Chains A and B, each alone.
Chain A
Amino acid sequence: MTIAWRLLGFSGLWLILAGWDPASWIIGLPSVLLAAWLYGRLARQARLPSARLTLGFLSFFLIESVHAGTDVARRILRPRMRISPGLQTYRMRLANPTARVVFLDSISLLPGTLSADFVNREEIQVHALDATVDLAPELDDLERRVGRLFGEELKPVGGLHD
């Protein structure tokens, strides 16, 4: 993303947050400049996925969010809660750093799983409310979707060990 796009994007965000009042730019202008500079430093290799792919992922994400919320609510509301929490290890195949962050955050927002920690660069520990089920197929599917979003084709071998 070029600097001009970055500035335009962050100015747009400021406009949404602060409204049209010109006086707001006393704080807005430095913030936009700072944000654009920081973005350049933090996300040097960041690539933004296309709008069409993003929309597709978004609809999947929204539906799964509803699943996640109702799933966790159902477990909590039972008189005897149906949980057996535990950790599982998953081998991540995504290479792009942005894709990895999206994957990790999606894990936490989708049903039954919570991204917890890195074992090393590839392996992550995932916490599940019900760890008696193998999480690998679900995580593999999610990782594939995130990969497609960022133009990464993943090999079919999923990493699954506990």
Chain B
Amino acid sequence: MQTLLQALSLFLIGAGVFFFAVGTLGLIRLPDLFSRLHALTKADNLGLGLVIAGLLPWVADPWTALKLVLIWVLVMVSGATGSHLIAKRALRGDGEDLLE
């Protein structure tokens, strides 16, 4: 049972790290600001979710589990809202140095 749980955690965290890496790769490869935002919001959201899911079986108490999930939710909401604001500024062209 322990080994099974460990394997599951390893898989989830590994997958999470993979999505973080791909998100960063997207930041480098994708051609424009909007497409890069796609890579960041979606890949990072999934990456963080997977890492946290992999950590959940090993927390000391339920509070820590709640805290981890709360961190995920907050990062997700701020990521989505932040990318919306960045895209909006870029579209209107009134940000600082946002357009190439």
Residues of A bordering B, CB below 8 Å:
13, 15-17, 19, 62, 65-66, 68-73, 76-77, 81, 83, 85, 87, 104-106, 108-109, 111-112, 114-118, 125, 127, 129
Residues of B bordering A, CB below 8 Å:
18-19, 22-23, 25-26, 29-32, 34-35, 37-39, 41-43, 45-47, 49, 63, 66-67, 70, 76-77, 79-81, 83-84, 87-88, 91-92
The answer to whether A129 touches B77, judged by C-beta atoms less than 8 angstroms apart, is: no
The answer to whether A109 touches B42, judged by C-beta atoms less than 8 angstroms apart, is: yes
Question: In the complex, which residues of chain B have a beta carbon less than 8 angstroms from the beta carbon of A117?
Answer: 87-88, 91-92
The answer to whether A129 touches B45, judged by C-beta atoms less than 8 angstroms apart, is: no
The smallest C-beta distance from A76 to any residue of chain B, in angstroms, reads 4
Complex Cα spacing A126 to B50, Å: 27
Question: In the complex, which residues of chain A have a beta carbon less than 8 angstroms from the beta carbon of B41?
Answer: 108-109, 114
The smallest C-beta distance from A60 to any residue of chain B, in angstroms, reads 15
The smallest C-beta distance from A142 to any residue of chain B, in angstroms, reads 13
